[in-house]
Amino acid sequence: GENVEQHPSTLSVQEGDSAVIKCTYSDSASNYFPWYKQELGKGPQLIIDIRSNVGEKKDQRIAVTLNKTAKHFSLHITETQPEDSAVYFCAASWYSGGGADGLTFGKGTHLIIQP
């Protein structure tokens, strides 16, 4: 089955700096890669996703890059703000529709934004 490794487990950055979280996956058939943000005491929320026919996707301060050859993808957050503090999960899916029955999650990164 699919195995997703996520690093680092904790990341502390100064407010205004950039943050990068990296994930690797094992199954070359995976073709859908979402990122979820979980605030304390809440459920995760999708913040951005990418499909395997695209190398990069950007949404304001957030971007995701995908390297299919190396089987890794990364989340980039620029100009970090206090509200970016949360746990971030990457995931990978082999299901053609991106259906969650095939979704494998990384173990999460606790992002801390220092004032």
99: contact with other proteins by CB under 8 A: yes
Taking the mean position of all CA atoms in its chain, how far away is CA 111?
12
Distance in Å, CB of 13 to other proteins, minimum: 20
Strands 45-51 and 103-105: unpaired
Q: Which is nearer to other proteins, 74 or 102 (CB)?
A: 102
Question: What distances in angstroms separate CA 66 from CA 25, 94, 113, one per listed residue?
Answer: 11, 15, 25
The structure tokens listed for 91 are 């995931």
Residue from the set 89, 92, 94, 113 that interacts with other proteins by CB under 8 A: 89
The one segment of 13-21, 41-49, 54-62, 70-78 that binds other proteins by CB under 8 A: 41-49
Residue 53 engages other proteins in binding (rule: CB under 8 A): no
> Which residues in this chain contact other proteins in the complex, by CB under 8 A?
4, 6, 9, 32, 34, 36, 41-46, 49, 89, 95-101, 103-108
